[in-house]
Amino acid sequence: MNSSPLLYSSREANASYKVIVDYAKLKQMVLEPGALVDLDKTNYIQIIDQACDDGFFVITKEYIANYKRLQTNIIPVDEKPMERIEVPDKFVEVQRSKHIYAQEIDADIKIKHECDVTGKLSTIGKISEFQEYFRDRYDTLGGMLRKRFSVQTSRDLNKHIQKNEDITLLGMVKEKNITKNGNILVQLDDLEGEFKAVIMQKDPVLFDAGLHIANDDVILVKGVKLGEGIVIVNDISYPDMPNRTFRKGNRECYAIAISDMHLGSKLFYEDAFQRFIDWVSLKNNDDFDIVEKIKYLFVPGDIVDGIGVYPQQINELKVFDIYEQYERITAYLEQIPEYIQIIIGPGNHDAVRLADPQPAVSKEYAKQLYEMKNVHMVGSPGWLEVEGLKTLLYHGSSMFSIQGALKLEKTKPELTMKEMLRRRDLSPIFGARHPILPEKGGYMLIKEEPDLFLTGHIHSNGYDNYKGCVLINPGTWQGQTIYQVEQGHVPTPGRVPIINLSTGKINEKVFIDGVKI
Ligand SMILES: [Fe+2]
């Protein structure tokens, strides 16, 4: 096999070819028998991408030969290897003489596998599955509202309610328009029929709430009957969270969060990330009184950059092998003391399907992570209990769709997280660019009230508290990509939120001072 164009000389040929075959599968391309050996690490992405752009489904030896003949300007690959990370002999000389609080307490963590799609993927995308998905969504979200309100129906509206009489109705939004008089007209469906709800512009608070109604929202409207099938609205309610304060964890200890490291990208901040690893590992004793209490590390996705995720990503990649990307991120995480529990969910750059809900990154890609005793791999969304606190990890792939539909600020992920909690749905917007598959089980619905809610995806960090739930989006460890420049996304890399689980208070440690891109 010496003459084979191995992708990495240190690997078996089979594993190397698998990377190419996996990439071809990702692009929904088929390789002609024998064509595989004509592809290697310097060209396989460009050739597969080009064949895809050219409208081919099968990549033949002839196509590859032609490509090579015509191609005089293959994008140069940065051959300079990333520096290998030396993994020290586990943890840590410095602290042998000290007591470390988090080392002396047992972890209090329970993964809620029943709320996780990992190992349960079943949908094939049939229309009947989507119908069932929407029906289940309506029943679950409507059920939350029915617990708080006595609800009538569109049939009552037409048969039993007189003009100007009060009525309370539940429905799923089919359509929203502004009338020629400047009022909002919402068309709703409550399974017994349809009705229209008018929100008058003369009430600015109510009108503003009306502007934030999105298609497919399940809402409750209180109002008075105006006529057949139509009400004037005087109040709008969402399934929402109950008013409450933070429940407080069992003990005085801390959790931290990082996300969107995008290891494999040239824009990954290696040095700053190593500084973070050294800090959390107490290698330099900085902030000892705080760091010794860190017991949990949440990582809601995009731990690697992946391959072929966005147009021209090849130009911004430094590690071209998805397996090696996971090996390298593992080498960082292995430096963290084993008493810190690390909970990792997938993101849209990770080696899992793009559509929500996403299963955990599999052992096939992240074998070394699975071998770490203190690592817990979950899906997105993933639920767990930490120190008695209900904790929800969701990468946040739906967040741009929600920001677009509700016109929310892109750099304030906490606003989007509040809208998810208000709707009790992690993916309330359908038909946008973010794909959702109708898995049985309602995984995208927020059926219980979380105490901690962590997302990633938006590379700007943001923290808040919404009705007793602490919201955390840690930002990123990647600089601004060309794609993000085009999309207007401004990252805040190298910031680590520190959550006191007994109070819900958040502090932040900054590892890239002053960097705004
Ligand atoms: Fe990301």
Q: What's the 475 CA to ligand 1 centre distance in angstroms?
A: 8
Residue for token pair 């003391």? 337
Q: What's the 459 CA to ligand 1 centre distance in angstroms?
A: 6
Average pLDDT of the segment spanning 444-468: 97
* 304 and 416 fall within a common domain: yes
Q: What's the 7 CA to ligand 1 centre distance in angstroms?
A: 26
Q: What's the 495 CA to ligand 1 centre distance in angstroms?
A: 14
On whether residue 97 sits in a domain, the answer given is: no
Q: What is the pLDDT at residue 3? A: 34
Q: What's the 352 CA to ligand 1 centre distance in angstroms?
A: 14
* Residue 416 to residues 32, 272, 407, 422, 446, Cα–Cα distance (Å): 46, 28, 10, 10, 14
Q: 58-59 and 30-31 as β-strands: parallel, antiparallel, unpaired? A: parallel
Q: What's the 259 CA to ligand 1 centre distance in angstroms?
A: 8
* 60 and 179 fall within a common domain: no
On whether residue 455 sits in a domain, the answer given is: yes
Q: How confident is the model at residue 81 (pLDDT cuts 50, 70, 90)?
A: very low
* 224 and 252 fall within a common domain: no
* 320 and 259 fall within a common domain: yes
Average pLDDT of the segment spanning 38-61: 77
Confidence check: pLDDT of 231 > 60: yes
Q: What's the 301 CA to ligand 1 centre distance in angstroms?
A: 7
On whether residue 92 sits in a domain, the answer given is: no
On whether residue 354 sits in a domain, the answer given is: yes
Q: What's the 402 CA to ligand 1 centre distance in angstroms?
A: 16
- Of 13-22, 273-282, 409-418, 490-499, the one with minimum mean pLDDT is 13-22
Element (H or E) spanning 454, and its range? strand 452-454
Average pLDDT of the segment spanning 17-29: 78
Q: What's the 444 CA to ligand 1 centre distance in angstroms?
A: 20
Confidence check: pLDDT of 26 > 50: yes
Q: What's the 491 CA to ligand 1 centre distance in angstroms?
A: 10
On whether residue 101 sits in a domain, the answer given is: no
Q: What's the 398 CA to ligand 1 centre distance in angstroms?
A: 12
* 268 and 401 fall within a common domain: yes
Confidence check: pLDDT of 340 > 60: yes
Give the separation between CA 517 and CA 204, rounded to whole angstroms: 37
* 180 and 257 fall within a common domain: no
Q: What's the 199 CA to ligand 1 centre distance in angstroms?
A: 38
* 196 and 250 fall within a common domain: no
The pTM assigned to this predicted structure is 0.81
Q: What's the 477 CA to ligand 1 centre distance in angstroms?
A: 9
* 233 and 285 fall within a common domain: no
pLDDT digits (tens, 9 = 90+) for 297-332: 999 999 999 998 877 788 889 999 999 999 999 999
Average pLDDT of the chain is 88
Omega before 485 within 30 of 0, i.e. cis: no
Average pLDDT of the segment spanning 234-247: 96
Q: What's the 513 CA to ligand 1 centre distance in angstroms?
A: 20
Q: What's the 325 CA to ligand 1 centre distance in angstroms?
A: 15
Q: What is the pLDDT at residue 64? A: 82
Q: How confident is the model at residue 1 (pLDDT cuts 50, 70, 90)?
A: very low
Q: What is the pLDDT at residue 71? A: 59
Average pLDDT of the segment spanning 91-114: 81
Q: How confident is the model at residue 2 (pLDDT cuts 50, 70, 90)?
A: very low
Q: What's the 261 CA to ligand 1 centre distance in angstroms?
A: 7
Number of domains in the chain: 3
- Of 30-39, 105-114, 230-239, 441-450, the one with minimum mean pLDDT is 30-39
Q: Both tokens of residue 512? A: 């890239």
Q: What is the pLDDT at residue 14? A: 58
Strand-pair partners of 187? 175, 196
In this prediction, what percent of the chain has a pLDDT beyond 90?
72
Q: What is the pLDDT at residue 97? A: 57
Q: What is the pLDDT at residue 462? A: 96
Ranges of beta strands (E only) in 115-202 are 166-178, 184-189, 194-199
Q: What's the 122 CA to ligand 1 centre distance in angstroms?
A: 27
Q: What's the 473 CA to ligand 1 centre distance in angstroms?
A: 11
Q: What's the 308 CA to ligand 1 centre distance in angstroms?
A: 14
| CA-angle at 510, arms to 278 and 83, nearest 5° | 45
Confidence check: pLDDT of 489 > 90: no
* 283 and 200 fall within a common domain: no
* 169 and 272 fall within a common domain: no
* Residue 236 to residues 165, 166, 208, 276, Cα–Cα distance (Å): 17, 14, 11, 45
Q: What's the 324 CA to ligand 1 centre distance in angstroms?
A: 18
Average pLDDT of the segment spanning 104-128: 93
The SS3 call for residue 451 is coil
On whether residue 278 sits in a domain, the answer given is: yes
Q: How confident is the model at residue 15 (pLDDT cuts 50, 70, 90)?
A: low
Q: What's the 413 CA to ligand 1 centre distance in angstroms?
A: 13
Give the separation between CA 389 and CA 254, rounded to whole angstroms: 12
* 290 and 210 fall within a common domain: no
Q: What is the pLDDT at residue 69? A: 62
Average pLDDT of the segment spanning 85-107: 66
The CATH number of whichever domain residue 147 belongs to comes to: 2.40.50.140
* HEC string for 3-66: CCCCCCCCCCHHHHHHHHHHHHHHCCCEECCCCHHHCCCCCHHHHHHHHHHCCCCEECHHHHHH
Strand-pair partners of 218? 172
Q: What's the 326 CA to ligand 1 centre distance in angstroms?
A: 15
Q: How confident is the model at residue 190 (pLDDT cuts 50, 70, 90)?
A: very high
- Of 6-15, 49-58, 381-390, the one with minimum mean pLDDT is 6-15
Beta-carbon-side half-sphere exposure of residue 509 (alpha carbons within 13 Å): 22
Domain assignment of residue 32, given as a range:
13-70
Give the separation between CA 55 and CA 99, rounded to whole angstroms: 63
Confidence check: pLDDT of 128 > 50: yes
On whether residue 187 sits in a domain, the answer given is: yes
Residue for token pair 């963590």? 109
Q: What's the 73 CA to ligand 1 centre distance in angstroms?
A: 30
* 221 and 308 fall within a common domain: no
Q: How confident is the model at residue 82 (pLDDT cuts 50, 70, 90)?
A: very low
Q: What is the pLDDT at residue 37? A: 79
Q: What's the 457 CA to ligand 1 centre distance in angstroms?
A: 4
Q: What's the 442 CA to ligand 1 centre distance in angstroms?
A: 25
Average pLDDT of the segment spanning 457-476: 97
* HEC string for 233-289: EEEEECCCCCCCCCCCCCCCCEEEECCCCCECECCECHHHHHHHHHHHCCCCCCCHH
On whether residue 90 sits in a domain, the answer given is: no
Average pLDDT of the segment spanning 269-278: 96
User: Which has the higher per-residue pLDDT, 11 or 461?
Assistant: 461
Give the separation between CA 439 and CA 126, rounded to whole angstroms: 11
Last residue of a domain, one of 237, 268, 285: 237
Last residue of a domain, one of 203, 237, 271: 237
